[in-house]
């Protein structure tokens, strides 16, 4: 059986966010790099750097914790399409997460992109995860 690298990213970020850790180490692949770039661009991650350790590449991400006076808001990541059940959508039926406040990450024929970018480009694809 193969590894589900997208689920590993989501789980490691979710666990680090719950434990209020500052950094997360993620195995580096093309898919993980593109997803982390989207998270960085959308403001869920502060900083990303590449780290090489014994012939393996890793991405070290610094998480951003949203604070208010009362409590810390956690970033919620939810895996949608998985190896046992792939979920596809055309560009007209891509769901809006929290009325546009959250994002959906899609794998399209033009690469990995957010739901807003996919609607603008007019392409659909596999819905990887939701983030809000």
Say if CB 102 and CB 115 are below 8 A apart.
Answer: no
pLDDT higher than 80, residue 97: yes
Say how many C-beta atoms besides its own lie within 10 A of residue 59's C-beta. 21
Domain ranges of the chain: 5-131
Cα 28 to Cα 51: distance, rounded to the nearest angstrom? 9
Query: Which tens digits make up the pLDDT trace of 6-63?
Result: 999 999 999 998 888 989 999 999 999 999 999 999 999 999 999 999 999 999 999 9
CATH topology of domain 5-131: Ribosomal Protein S8; Chain: A, domain 1 (3.30.1370)
Degrees, nearest 5: CA angle 60-63-65: 170
Three-state DSSP class for 7? helix
Degrees, nearest 5: CA angle 79-85-87: 70
Confidence of residue 73 (pLDDT cuts 50, 70, 90): low
Query: pLDDT at position 20, please?
Result: 85
């Amino acid at each position: 059986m193969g590894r589900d690298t997208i689920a590993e990213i989501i789980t490691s970020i979710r666990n680090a966010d719950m434990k209020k850790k500052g950094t997360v180490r993620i195995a580096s692949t093309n898919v993980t790099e593109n997803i982390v770039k989207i998270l960085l661009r959308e403001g869920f991650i502060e900083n990303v750097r590449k780290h090489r350790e014994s012939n393996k590449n890793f991405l070290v991400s610094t998480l951003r914790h949203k604070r208010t006076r009362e409590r810390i808001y956690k970033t919620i990541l939810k895996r949608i399409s998985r190896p046992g059940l792939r979920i596809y959508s055309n560009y007209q039926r891509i769901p809006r997460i929290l009325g546009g406040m959250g994002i959906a990450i899609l794998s399209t024929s033009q690469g990995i992109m957010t739901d807003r970018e996919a609607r603008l480009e007019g392409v659909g694809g596999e819905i990887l995860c939701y983030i809000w």
